[in-house]
Amino acid sequence: MGLAGVLLLLDPASFRGAGGLYLPAVFAILAGTLAWAAGSLLSKRVDLPRDPFLGTALQMLAGGGWLVLAGLLAGEGRHVNVAAFTWASVGAWAYLVVFGSIVAFSAYVWLLRHVSTAAVSTHAYVNPLVAVLLGWLLLGEPLTLRMGGAGLLLILSVGLLSWPRSAGPPRRRPRRALAWPRRPRRPARRRALAATAA
């Protein structure tokens, strides 16, 4: 349901005039999504640093290092124009680094230890809805009926994932059959004395 809401919100038909889809990029996004899900599930089974900021630093260094290396090998370093930087672009970059990466991922790591993985994953459905609402409030972007239906699907999906599951009726412990109390046996010495006296 949540995935259907995201698709309805994005409206795949609007991408038809963009020259088609670049399949390597599509597969890279799918691979990244699967790796993120696998890492979220494995994080509960492996030993990780207790400090969420340390876990965030390790993730950023590992992921960022590979991205920088891949970008340099692809020749993206030649396209960087420092003279085109503006205060607005630098401020947006700093905001993404501090709040979009450090704070957000630290909170994500902390939640993975205290909340179920399914509940933590609801952020993937909430973020597009929040982005649309912020665009409407701050930039005056239009809201359509399709967006409203998509938002309703997203809210329902998050509500279903967050709904507390009933543990069911308590199981009764099976009753053990009561054994008839046996007569205590007399020690062998006492029996020998009784036989001698007889």
Instruction: Write out the DSSP string of 135-181.
Output: HHHHS-----HHHHHHHHHHHHHHHHHHSPPP--SPPPPPPPPPPPP
Separation CA 2–CA 124 (nearest Å): 9
Please report the pLDDT score of residue 166 as a whole number: 52
Separation CA 130–CA 111 (nearest Å): 20
Collect all residues with Cβ–Cβ distance below 8 Å to 6 and sequence separation of at least 6: 124, 125, 128, 150, 154
Please report the pLDDT score of residue 178 as a whole number: 45
With b for 16 or more beta-carbon neighbours within 10 A and e for fewer, the 176-195 pattern comes to eeeeeeeeeeeeeeeeeeee
Of 27, 101, 31, give the one whose Cα is nearest residue 61: 101
Please report the pLDDT score of residue 86 as a whole number: 92
Backbone angles phi, psi at 182, to 5 degrees: -85, 150
Tokens 């399709």, located at residue: 146
What is the distance between the terminal CA atoms of the chain, rounded to a whole angstrom?
89
Please report the pLDDT score of residue 134 as a whole number: 85
Q: Average pLDDT across each block of 10 residues of the chain; the chain has 198 residues. List them in order.
A: 67 58 74 78 73 76 86 86 89 89 81 76 74 84 80 75 56 50 56 58
Extents of the domains making up the chain: 116-163
Whole-prediction pTM: 0.54
Q: What CA–CA distances, in Å, run from 149 to 5, 13, 102, 123, 154?
A: 8, 16, 33, 18, 9
Separation CA 98–CA 96 (nearest Å): 6
